[in-house]
Structure 1
Amino acid sequence: MDNKEFGKRVRSLRESKGITRESMCGDETEFSIRQLARIESGESKPTFTKITFIATGLGMSLYELMPDYVDLPEDYLNLKYDILRTPTYGENKKIDWRDQILTEIYDNYYDDLPEEEQLAVDTIQSFFDVHDTSEAIYGKEILEEYFFQISHKDAYSINELLMIRLFLEHARMTELSKFPKENAVFQHLLKTLPCQVNVVRPKDLFILRDVLFVMVGVAGSKEQNDCIPAFIQTIEQIMNRTQDYQKLPILKMISWKYKLYVDKNKKDAEQLYEAAKLSAGMIGDPNLLEKIENEWESDSKSS
């Protein structure tokens, strides 16, 4: 069943049951009227989540609604996870590799992906664009159109975590006190993100970990330091649970910054710096080790 056939089927079933788009979508926190309209017109391909939502709204089982649903291509998922798992630390070769993978996704998979997954790809691309250029123009349309749906939730899907990461990168460059709506979302995330460790599947915890790293940086830049120990503790919990210590040097680095700038404890900060160097050496990434050393040199002079 192609997009147009599925859309016609959904609209026909909805209208035959006397269900309006407004009543099906409710407060639009899960599914917007605009998204439903695009699916019904055949303009967008629905994800498993959206198909399930529609089926529930129509009082049908998933396979009554769409028996020939096919999951996301495994090769695409492998590429997506490779990008998300591999830090670049500003190294040009790794950035070039990441950009090549994104190009492959856009060239070979994007057009056949459901709308929600296309949104995930665009969100990943926008995050890297904002991060690499420090320009908040990237991904602005994504946040304006979709972020309302997740800004009031207490539990997030993986693709929603990616959008939160994009939002935080924008927040880093925004004076939140001048934007009450954005600031309210930021305060909400400060409370809810650490709790996601009990929601996210073990294989996806590294995505939550990376969002928490971004949150720590943004919270520090906004001088909201009280929450940082809880985020550090949650990141450490994730590392111990997954036995993935690839970013342990970064955890040690943000810990020394907290000790140095908030606790004013240079002795403990220096011990954490030595631990960061040791773990970077064990990982065998000379580029990361150099960045750790340069960061400490800068911090120790300015403290």
Structure 2
Amino acid sequence: MRKEGFGEKVRRLREERGWTREQFCDDELELTVRQLTRIELGVSKPTLTKIFFIAHRLGMSLFELMPDYVDLPNQYVKLKYDILRTPTYDQFDLIEKRNEKLLYVYEHFYDSLPDRERVALDALQSTIDVLETKSDIFGREIVKKHIPQIERKRKYDVNDLLVIHLFMEHAYLSNLRKKSDNRKVFLKLMAELPKQVMMMEPEDLFVLRNVMFATIRVLGAKGIYDPIPTLFQGLDQIMQITQDFQKYPIFSMLRWKYELLVHRDVNRAHTYCKEAMVFAKLMGNLHLMEQLQAQWRRDTSDFATFLSC
């Protein structure tokens, strides 16, 4: 039997008491009707303050309403998001700082975390290990156990996305044969990603953005080009919503690669190259500028070789 979600439970308990959403929210100072609607539909996750208000309105304790609820330590949440937010761009000092934070989390918080948080952390660490070693031996059990569960979901949370990211890195290293189960799962998850943009809280969209980048990398490597423009649209939408453009140079790089590979349009690709350089310069990241310049030289050299064949 499927476990009742938090929003479904709130709606059931409210309706059992014969209240409309307007009656439940009262003067809407603590919770608006729109917020309650999104919570009950599973589109939005409530803050701790709103959970307490809902429990109070229902005449229940927090434990009665959410027996599985565990308040995560603030320091852990901050470290987790710092690790997820900080791009390394293959810079040794940034990689070292990220690894130090991960080690601190494992040493000071891991044993006291709920199972889902442990799985998410292990997925994050496994993703890093896969990227560093170019081997998919890391995180196989996580993918095998949790991806089938995630497939059944309509809405993903941050921890789901961390497992999906691990799956995408495994997919990059596999051959994704046509009609294989792995390819079917990959295409299904890929198609769901753009739909998540309007379902997620804005502060979590950067995690979805990173998974979309990883997915485009897989699509390009496997020669599956048709879905890429939809993912580009989703990425652009995320950046407009969040006004966070730190990954825009990478976004522009992917677009120049797409123009070269699919449309064979060097001029348009070069436009995206210049765009990437401008954003990297505005960020003051000289290391990234050098990486982009080297990538452009390799890509145009490969393109010239292709045309001469």
TM-score range, shorter-chain basis?
0.7 to 0.9
Aligned AA (1:140): R
Q: Which residue pairs with 1:151 in the alignment?
A: 151
Distance in 2 (CA, whole Å) between partners of 1:69 and 1:252 is 41
1:270-295 Cα distance to aligned partner (Å, 9 max, x none): 11101111110001111111110000
Indicate yes or no: 2:169 matched with 1:169.
Answer: yes
Distance in 2 (CA, whole Å) between partners of 1:98 and 1:67 is 33
Shift in Å, 1:67: 6.9
Q: How many residues align?
A: 251
Shift in Å, 1:65: 6.7
The answer to whether the 8 Å contact 2:252/2:276 transfers is yes
Q: Which residue pairs with 2:298 in the alignment?
A: 298
* Aligned CA-pair RMSD: 2.2
Distance in 1 (CA, whole Å) between partners of 2:63 and 2:110 is 25
Q: Which residue pairs with 2:31 in the alignment?
A: none
Q: Which residue pairs with 2:250 in the alignment?
A: 250
Aligned AA (2:160): E
Shift in Å, 1:153: 2.6
Aligned AA (1:134): K
5+ residue gaps in structure 1?
Answer: 1-22, 27-47, 53-59
Distance in 2 (CA, whole Å) between partners of 1:68 and 1:273 is 49
Aligned AA (2:85): R
Q: Which residue pairs with 1:81 in the alignment?
A: 81
Aligned AA (1:293): Q
Shift in Å, 1:102: 0.5
Q: Which residue pairs with 1:90 in the alignment?
A: 90
Cα 1:260–1:150 change in 2 (3 A) is: same
Q: Which residue pairs with 1:100 in the alignment?
A: 100
Q: Which residue pairs with 2:30 in the alignment?
A: none
Shift in Å, 1:147: 1.6
> What secondary structure, in the 3-state scheme, does the structure 2 residue paired with 1:88 have?
coil
> What secondary structure, in the 3-state scheme, does the structure 1 residue paired with 2:230 have?
helix
- 1:1-303 equivalences under 5 Å are 23=1, 63-64=63-64, 70-177=70-177, 180-303=180-303
Cα 1:139–1:68 change in 2 (3 A) is: closer
Aligned AA (2:218): V
Cα 1:75–1:271 change in 2 (3 A) is: same
Distance in 1 (CA, whole Å) between partners of 2:158 and 2:139 is 17
Identity between Structure 1 and Structure 2 (%): 42
Cα 1:253–1:131 change in 2 (3 A) is: same
1:250-269 Cα distance to aligned partner (Å, 9 max, x none): 00000000111111000010
> What secondary structure, in the 3-state scheme, does the structure 2 residue paired with 1:238 have?
helix
Distance in 1 (CA, whole Å) between partners of 2:180 and 2:3 is 26
Distance in 2 (CA, whole Å) between partners of 1:154 and 1:143 is 18
Aligned AA (1:274): K
> What secondary structure, in the 3-state scheme, does the structure 2 residue paired with 1:95 have?
helix
The answer to whether the 8 Å contact 2:70/2:114 transfers is no
Shift in Å, 1:181: 1.9
Q: Which moved more, 1:150-159 or 1:71-80?
A: 150-159
> What secondary structure, in the 3-state scheme, does the structure 2 residue paired with 1:277 have?
helix
Cα 1:181–1:61 change in 2 (3 A) is: farther
Shift in Å, 1:72: 0.3
Distance in 1 (CA, whole Å) between partners of 2:89 and 2:238 is 21
Distance in 1 (CA, whole Å) between partners of 2:109 and 2:229 is 40
Cα 1:178–1:232 change in 2 (3 A) is: closer
Distance in 1 (CA, whole Å) between partners of 2:190 and 2:68 is 41
Aligned AA (1:194): P
The answer to whether the 8 Å contact 2:84/2:207 transfers is yes
1:41-87 Cα distance to aligned partner (Å, 9 max, x none): xxxxxxx99xx9xxxxxxx9863276795410010010000010011
